[in-house]
Amino acid sequence: MWPTFGGRAPHRDSYRFFDVVIAAQSDSREFLDLFADMYRRFRADGCDETQTTCYVMTQERMLVVDDQVLTLDDSDSLVDLAYERILDSIVARVRSHILIHAGVVSWNGHGVVFPAYSGHGKTTLILELVRRGFKFLSDEIAAFDRQHRRLTPFPRSLRLRPGTLALWGFTPPPSTATSRIEPRGTAHHSAPATSWRDKLILDIERIRPDSLGEPCPGGYVVVLSNPSSEGRGLDEPDRTLYLLPERITAALLEEMRGIRGVKDVERVPEGTLPALRLRVERGTSVTSRIEEICRGQGVRILDVVKGGERRPDFEASPRLEPISSAEATMELVRRFRAGRNSVLIQQEYQGSAARLFLELADMVSQMRCYRLSVGRLDEMAELICDLVSGG
């Protein structure tokens, strides 16, 4: 049984994420207030059904979550890790919904799901569609309700750079811990916006009032893809994976080189962030093991770039093409947010990823499925508007 830390962690907040209730307890009210800004719509104050408690001890630089005690060298790294690990703990416990890394909006009561890897402009496209009148469900997680066969909002606050806000007619705020957002041509917001790691934490309705959507049936799956990486290296026996950890240690390198299917690991000397280039045997899945190693060493993963050296070209002309529901389902499964050790996989599906595929396939079979090769933002938005309007 893990320690409760007694009076050393006097601050406690509870949150409900679908069928999971979790408490965050800490010696830092500041940490919990920032977490609350991110997940304000999930607060469950006064709830006595808490299933688990995560402890964040900033003075002791200790995080206790999911039967693991993690200690870090400095409190800033601890705080960064805690936000990600607590979310990981939550999504791994959810049984009622299948959680996919994707953005979601709705139009006329039907959901549009955008599965995408990092760096494909998912959040930017979601905000542009909201500006055009779509309803917001999430920029991060598509929640497929298993019982009602519909999409449920996952309205975590958005984390946006001030420059991104300017694209939607907002005056970029000054770079301070808290700052005021002033939409042009509208009344000023009275409450300040929280800033964290050079990004603003904003509820969607601070950006555009009355834009939060309701649970709805799925209408479309639109997979965002990078045309500059499509079809490259498919005949080669290996593929390349780029990993951006917050730091690289000798122990991390040693464990990475021991992963089955990884043929080579090397540091990437270019760039301002630490990066690793992994040569992986094609057909081998190594991401879960990489995440497990990084968690065990208290190293946060900033980004993973799969299957290509090139970033998408957002000045290109986008292309929308229909795909089969089976192909769309596989794209969703690849972006399953909870991982293979989730309660849903291990207990509901008895460890079978095939059962996850089949249940998702049943829901996706009622949706129209497409692949969108990313490009210029306005043109991507026009393609989606034409799609949902039957154009």
Angstrom distance (rounded) from CA 207 to CA 201: 11
Angstrom distance (rounded) from CA 62 to CA 366: 46
Reply yes or no on whether the pLDDT at 355 is more than 50: yes
Identify the pLDDT of residue 119: 74
Phi, psi of 26 (to 5 degrees): -155, 165
State which fold the 238-306 domain adopts.
Alpha-Beta Plaits (3.30.70)
**Mind giving me the DSSP string for 19-58?**
TEEEEEEES-HHHHHHHHHHTGGGB-TT-----EEEEEET
**Is 87 within 8 Å of 134 (Cβ atoms)?**
no
Angstrom distance (rounded) from CA 66 to CA 88: 10
What the block records as the tokens of 381 is 């938005």
Reply yes or no on whether the pLDDT at 271 is more than 60: no
**Rounded to whole angstroms, what are the CA distances from 313 to 254, 352, 372, 381, 382?**
35, 37, 13, 16, 18
Q: What mean pLDDT value characterizes the chain?
A: 82
Identify the pLDDT of residue 233: 35
Bigger pLDDT: 97 vs 286: 97
**Rounded to whole angstroms, what are the CA distances from 263 to 258, 269, 275, 277, 279?**
9, 19, 17, 11, 5
**Rounded to whole angstroms, what are the CA distances from 355 to 223, 274, 283, 346?**
22, 38, 20, 11
Reply yes or no on whether the pLDDT at 10 is more than 80: yes
Residue type present at position 309:
E
Least confident of 21-35, 102-116, 125-139, 173-187: 173-187
Average pLDDT over residues 347-362: 90
Reply yes or no on whether the pLDDT at 180 is more than 50: no
Reply yes or no on whether the pLDDT at 34 is more than 80: yes
CATH architecture of 100-154+215-228+317-391: Alpha-Beta Complex (3.90)
Average pLDDT over residues 20-42: 91
Least confident of 1-15, 127-141, 275-289, 321-335: 1-15
Bigger pLDDT: 1 vs 51: 51
Stretch(es) of the chain classified as CATH 3.90.228.20 = 100-154+215-228+317-391
Q: pLDDT > 70: what percent of the chain?
A: 83
**Is 289 within 8 Å of 351 (Cβ atoms)?**
no
Stretch(es) of the chain classified as CATH 3.30.70.260 = 238-306
Reply yes or no on whether the pLDDT at 181 is more than 50: no
Bigger pLDDT: 346 vs 233: 346
**Mind giving me the DSSP string for 240-272?**
EEEEEES---HHHHHHHHTSTTEEEEEE--SSS
- Helix 29-38 and helix 75-93, axial crossing angle in degrees, nearest 10: 50
Q: pLDDT tens for residues 70-96?
A: 887 767 777 777 888 888 889 999 999
Q: pLDDT > 90: what percent of the chain?
A: 41
Reply yes or no on whether the pLDDT at 190 is more than 80: no
**Which neighbouring-strand residues pair with 97?**
145
Q: Which of 162, 167, 65 is nearest to 124 (CA)?
A: 167
Reply yes or no on whether the pLDDT at 66 is more than 70: yes
